[in-house]
Structure 1
């Protein structure tokens, strides 16, 4: 069984980053990104790219947590003392001991700063060492080469393409599936990521 109690508050952090459960009060913390940085939503399935869409995005994330399917976080950069974006565990399958990591996005000023590596390290460490999952999966727009390469660079294994598996604002998208298994985390991925931090 996955060791995750949805009625408990999980904040995950290190000296660089804090991941804490998203709340409706985070609307103000994320509004700038929704309104002022439209280019960051290019590969987003559910872009919070307006006030109304941001409200829906936050409410949907909270409802998914209540349904025990997801555990969404807001990302806080301790180096700049600013909120930087969001991420979550999703598609959590207790019986199969699997989960996805996704819905991850950062404001432009936080991209390429190493924040994502800290975020992925904390999430993967929590998933494999606290939740006791056997597999973490990533679904990425096949055109999002930057994210695919970032996941490959930390040791995620590409598994293939799901064709036309999601509806997006301007049609359909194909998704690249990548994964990390529990033994891979302990054998290689953890040390690879630690060296990159």
Structure 2
């Protein structure tokens, strides 16, 4: 991980989706797919287009500070933006990062989109960046997210109590998961078995 990674962030893609670096120009298309249910277990809540502008601007700022790589998710068939995800807590010395801040248009939740995104990001982390650990956290109340994380083969490490105070004042517990480099081959195989040719980069 060097400065070039943040100055010229990658585009990741397979046959069905494309992850492109998030920019301020994505505020309106992201707000167009916004829905209150998306933010139920998120750290903040986006209600207005101004909220979305601030949310995107903060993500872009984190990239400029070399702290995160935020992406928007594009459906290649229609060139439609269907969600967003990011890598953050990127640590060059410890060769680790966290994958999160992921949400999708309600019509694409619980579809191949999430699996494809996770595969592309994990493949990039382990095969391009040569990381040894990728972690994921989710709200203890978000059982759907926990099930999705477990389906990809991440290992549950435990519960972080009072991990964060959300913008609405709620003090959440977070469930912590990880995938390490030694586990990536088996996790990768699981993706391939579920998604076939589409799991691979094109």
Answer yes or no: same fold by TM over 0.5: yes
Confirm or deny: 8 A CA contact 1:41 1:49 kept in the other structure: no
Picking from 112, 136, 142, the partner of 1:144 is 142
Equivalent-residue separation in structure 1 for 2:188 and 2:110 (angstroms): 20
Picking from 189, 192, 195, the partner of 1:191 is 189
The corresponding residue for 1:87 is 85
Larger deviation, residues 42-51 vs 86-95: 42-51
Following superposition, the deviation at residue 40 of structure 1 comes to 1.3
Following superposition, the deviation at residue 9 of structure 1 comes to 3.2
Q: CA RMSD in A?
A: 1.3
1:55-134 paired onto structure 2 within 5 Å? 55-134=53-132
User: What SS class does the counterpart of residue 7 from structure 2 fall into?
Assistant: coil
Equivalent-residue separation in structure 2 for 1:53 and 1:162 (angstroms): 28
Equivalent-residue separation in structure 2 for 1:9 and 1:167 (angstroms): 30
Following superposition, the deviation at residue 170 of structure 1 comes to 4.1
User: What SS class does the counterpart of residue 60 from structure 1 fall into?
Assistant: helix
The corresponding residue for 1:12 is 12
Equivalent-residue separation in structure 2 for 1:71 and 1:46 (angstroms): 19
User: What SS class does the counterpart of residue 33 from structure 2 fall into?
Assistant: helix
Confirm or deny: 8 A CA contact 2:18 2:76 kept in the other structure: yes
Confirm or deny: 8 A CA contact 1:12 1:19 kept in the other structure: yes
Following superposition, the deviation at residue 59 of structure 1 comes to 0.6
Equivalent-residue separation in structure 2 for 1:69 and 1:9 (angstroms): 12
User: What SS class does the counterpart of residue 185 from structure 1 fall into?
Assistant: helix
- Unaligned stretches of 5+ residues in structure 1: none
Question: Where in structure 1 do 4 or more consecutive aligned residues deviate above 4 Å?
Answer: none
The corresponding residue for 1:173 is 172
User: What SS class does the counterpart of residue 6 from structure 2 fall into?
Assistant: coil
TM value normalised by structure 1: 0.94
CA deviation string 1:156-179 (max 9, x = no partner): 000001111111114111100000
CA deviation string 1:173-192 (max 9, x = no partner): 11000000011002x10000
Confirm or deny: 8 A CA contact 2:9 2:69 kept in the other structure: no
CA deviation string 1:106-132 (max 9, x = no partner): 010011221100000000000000011
Q: How many residues align?
A: 193
The corresponding residue for 2:26 is 26
